[in-house]
Amino acid sequence: MGTVSEKVLQETKLFRAALPGLLAEHRGQWVVFIDGSVRSFHDDEKSAYDAAVQEFGPGTGYVIAPVSEMHPTPVTAAVMFGLSCA
Amino acid sequence: MRHRCQHLDGNGAVSRDALVFVGPIASVTLSRPVLKPEDVLQASSIQIKMLVDTGASKTVVDRGIAESLGLEPIRFEPMIGISHVPEECPIFFLSVAIGFADGPRTTSMTFTSEMVGMSTPPTPRPFNGLLGRDFLQFVRLAYDGPAGHCDIVANAADNTALYVHGAHTGNKRTQQRTVRKKSRY
């Protein structure tokens, strides 16, 4: 059995797989996602967090995520500017 | 109300050079997310230094610090670091308290925010995270290079913070109120 963090990573991958099917009707909402399925939808992140903690307890392997496309984000603009002088 | 980011040299004078070479550093207190105003004073917390980074879209914190608060990630997101290869990074949900001064009056404002957890080299550094634009959207910045400081300016009436704790120096009276009208818990 893995750590909670490993479970969250696994659930994140399952959420991404389910995301295309959620975007049409739930874009912009927040979800609580666990065991490969959406447990609940919410209008904002804090509401989703509250609901997840109330139902499952803090940090028990659920995913809280926005229903929106996910793109890689640069840590800071300097990273994208470049670090080489060559 | 303002939180002043400045560096003092060995003589206690403001160092303009340090603002150039190190950057504006804010002292903040991180804690587990507070769900009710009364939780603010009870949550275990850690005080760290964070670099104000207008080039960062997301706020970033040393992953070990988030984990030291007993936090688990709420999801993972791909982030691009110096390798230029996206890496899965944990996203933590936590509360950030910043002290502000308005003349003799001091106030702490608490924001609940996401932070990206990143592993950092074990070399000493003057800060443990980046305050990115997802946090800076709630405040104003006043960068005064000639004076050698950068102020984070906030207004409690903006309804951007979850909780505001006010303390007047001298009589140690403490006030507490919720300022976010839309999301009251």
- Residue B185 and residue A49: Cβ atoms within 8 Å? no
Task: Using an 8 Å CB-CB cutoff, list chain A residues near B53.
Answer: 76
More confident residue, A59 or B116: B116
Would you call A44 and B82 a contact, using CB atoms and an 8 Å cutoff? no
Q: What is the pTM of this model?
A: 0.85
Banded pLDDT at B56 (limits 50, 70, 90) = very high
Instruction: For residue A51, give the H/E element and its range.
Output: helix A45-56
pLDDT for res A50: 93
Residues A50-75 have a mean pLDDT of 92
pLDDT of residue A48: 95
Distance from CA of B118 to the nearest CA of A (A): 9
- Of A5, A12, A65, Cβ closest to residue B72: A5
* Cβ contacts of B114 on chain A, cutoff 8 Å: 45
Interface A-B, measured as beta-carbon pairs within 8 A, has a size of 88
Decide: residue B171, CB within 10 A, 0-12 exposed, 13-18 middle, 19+ buried.
Answer: exposed
B74/A8 touch (CB, cutoff 8 Å), yes or no: yes
- Residue B169: phi, psi to the nearest 5? -65, 145
φ/ψ (deg, to 5) at A65: -150, 155
Question: Does B180 have pLDDT greater than 70?
Answer: no
